Amino acid sequence: MLPMSLQDPASISLPAKVSPIESSSVTSEPASEPSKILIGITGGVAAYKLCEVTSTLAKAGVEVRVLMTRQAQSFVSALTFAALSRHPVYTDDDFWSAKQARPLHIELGEWADVFIIAPLSANTLAKLAHGLADNLLTNTVLASTCPVLLAPAMNTDMWRQVAVQRNWQQLETNKQASRYHSVGPNSGRLACDRIGTGRMAEPTEIVTTIYSLRHTKGRRDLLGKHLLISGGTTQEYLDPVRFISNPATGRMGIALAQAAHHRGAGVTLVHGPLTEELTNTIPIPIRTIAVTTAEEMERAMLSALPSADWTIMSAAIADVRPTKTVAHKLLKQDLPTHLPLSTVPDIVAQLASQKSQSQRIVGFAAQTGDIVTPARDKLKRKNLDAIVANPIDKSDSGFGSSNNQATILLADGRQRQVAHCSKLSLAHQLYDYLLDVF
């Protein structure tokens, strides 16, 4: 049984330029994953958001190089990005510099493992769509073979122009073969005070997508599949302000949804109550269904099951609920000294019993102590295809943490260990394994 609680909701000088192929000795991810990120910044007010992206990556030990167009330097100085990336910034003035032993665009293009272009302006979008190369940034794109992440930002009317949409669709077509990936644009208030589509994705969403591309190297190996994912907790109310729940935050479910989306899958995420901060990290293309109680989650999951290829039940459902619920807040003296409880429906078992032969059901088991034995029992008893056992009594792991660790168990007895890592990394390692065995 998951833990339960009865709650009341309450002046820097530039260093000399060095070759971009020099490597940092610090890394925040396994050495087998690429860690060289090239950021290309074009002209746009949203260029300021790349300050946070650059800083976040550099602080995490990722090697970051920044190149800027002339127009970009009108919005944020090259000195700012040099300080944040811990490396001089490349501009068009460096393009054919005699100091470079090899053409700079060739060297940068070969160096990069992921190339992000943001804010992607209508002008640069048109150049990419037609293979034009008239500056350092566009020449570097053509001289590279790595995944390219595009983060558009422009006025709503500009974004809606037929020519702009044609160029965008040209880059988005044939996703299986294309090296271009996208994040945004989102909707909201723009710098011109218009409200609509054209707002650049937030730094956290951009960084998360970069981390996914580091892991997958741009593979879209879930393209054509639809994943149904549950996440978060449920709340079973005694009265309007008191409920039985557990500490699950929904981070694991969101990470699973993000990773699946980044790998090309269609995703439906059924989630319990989330903070606004976590809600804002869910990519817009993901279909979300918000629920509160286990009964609501049961209905949503069973309704969405027929269209799912894989269903991953990572939500931590409250195991019991008050037998009686009242519509008004109980006075303190009226609270029951003994609380009659009833069990909630076993959602994952129902999903497994209703799946077709081609569908796959994956459960999660949050455990203390020996995590494998009870998870294996749950795997067999509920007729699941796989289960992810994760400890909730380990430091910086499980509930409330951005990190996790797990043992993945298959119905045929095989299993794989996943060492302590970010929840996004765990999600990707789970998909790597499931793609091998399903």
Longest dimension (CA), the chain: 83
- Choosing from 51, 146, 192, 421, which is the catalytic residue? 192
The radius of gyration of the chain's CA atoms, rounded to the nearest angstrom, is: 24
HSE value, Cβ hemisphere, 13 Å, CA-based, for 145: 1
The Cα–Cα gap between 1 and 301 comes to 21
Three-class DSSP category at 52: helix
Q: Could you tell me if 429 and 388 are in contact, meaning their C-beta atoms sit under 8 angstroms apart?
A: no
Q: Within 10 Å of residue 290's Cβ, how many Cβ atoms?
A: 14
| b/e code 82-95 from CB counts within 10 Å (16+ = b) | bbbbebbbbbbebb
Q: Which long-range contacts (CB under 8 A, 24 or more apart) does 375-380 make?
A: 375/407, 375/409, 376/409, 379/409, 379/411, 380/411
In the numeric block, the tokens 């300050």 are attached to: 51
In the residue annotation, 192 being an active-site residue is answered as yes
Write down the number of H helices and E strands in the chain: 14, 20
Tell me the C-alpha distance between 408 and 391, whole Å: 12
Burial class (CB in 10 A: 0-12, 13-18, 19+), 256: buried
Contact 246, 271 (CB under 8 A): no
**Are 374 and 401 spatial neighbours (Cβ–Cβ below 8 Å)?**
no
Neighbours of 8 (CB within 10 A): 7
Cβ atoms of 308 and 354 closer than 8 Å: no
Q: Omega of the bond prior to 374 within 30 degrees of 0, cis?
A: no
What angle do the packed helices 49-59 and 203-216 form, to 10 degrees?
A: 50
Phi then psi for residue 83, to 5 deg, are -65, -40
Paired tokens of 62: 């990722």
Identify whether the C-beta of residue 185 lies closer than 8 Å to the C-beta of residue 152.
yes
Amino acid in the structure at residue 342? S
Location of structure tokens 């746009």: 44
Burial of 390 (0-12, 13-18, 19+ CB in 10 A): buried
Catalytic (active-site) positions? 192
